[in-house]
Amino acid sequence: MMDVSQGYHQIMLAPEDWKNVSFITSEGTFCYVAMPFGLKNTGATYQRLVDKIFRPQIGRNVEVYADDMLVKSKKAEEHVKDLEETFSVLRKYKLKLNPTKCAFGVRSGADIVITTPQGEDLDFAIKFDFKASNNEAGYEALVIGIRMTHETGARHLLAYSDSQLVVKQVKGTYEAKEESMIQYLQQIADLKTKFHHFQITQIPREENAKADSLSKLASSFEDCRTRHITIHYLPEARTPLVVQP
């Protein structure tokens, strides 16, 4: 996981636009020469930039949301090569990272937080006993979360995920090409029919902090007997899945 240092401020403004971001102080008139935080469409502009420069990698070995980047690899021995490819793009476009917010070689775990209409949180952490990519972990969490929600009797579900790939594939914005992803999508399509209303939305990782901490808990297997957290062990991936009527 990598964080771009002051991402918005690394985008230089065209000189002809400086007048549009000028301001007056007691010391004189000044203007921004780089994109400042707070301008309308700043976030969308930055997202378009990173989507464009990382287009060949997104969905393959990189996921990008705003100034957060995740470099993923199918095999551990391929990770250095994937990092080098990503660093090459960052150098090409002169984007700098914030080293204090970067983490490398992090294990992933699945995490689920179910919030009832009354605002009560039900916390679950999933420990995998099999190798799973970040995308597979995201799908496992989504499938298990949907099934758990259905078993509570709920028929209206708003699902949130910080995985750009998972959300966009479920919505149909991105096409799934890997067989495992296609199988997960079929499971979700079957499960969606059990609800009167289903909606999935991507949220920034910082807004998903509780679920992220559960994921780390499941991966590291810290002692949580004094906490109201349920840890499930999944011996194998849930593909294919038969949905019970």
Mean pLDDT across the stretch 76-83?
87
Token couple for 86: 């990503």
The overall average pLDDT reported for the chain is 76
Q: What is the pLDDT of residue 101?
A: 65
Asked if residue 97 lies in contact with residue 89, where contact means CB atoms within 8 angstroms, the answer is: no
For the chain, the structural domain boundaries read 2-101, 110-234
Of 181 and 231, more confident: 181
Q: What's the CATH class of domain 110-234?
A: alpha beta
Predicted confidence (pLDDT) at residue 170 exceeds the cutoff of 90: yes
Burial 167-199 (b: 16+ CB within 10 A, else e): bbbbeeebebeeeebebbbebbeebbebeeebe
pLDDT tens digits along 85-144: 999 998 898 887 777 667 666 555 667 777 888 888 777 767 766 667 778 888 888 998
Predicted confidence (pLDDT) at residue 230 exceeds the cutoff of 50: no
- Nearest-Å Rg of the Cα atoms of the chain is 21
Of 156 and 130, more confident: 156
The secondary structure element, H or E, covering residue 29 is strand 28-31
Of 50 and 125, more confident: 50
Distance CA 144, CA 150 (A): 10
Q: What is the pLDDT of residue 68?
A: 78
Beta strands in 75-196 (DSSP E): 110-115, 121-128, 156-161
- Provide φ and ψ at 142, rounded to 5°: -65, -45
Predicted confidence (pLDDT) at residue 148 exceeds the cutoff of 70: yes
Q: What is the pLDDT of residue 245?
A: 35
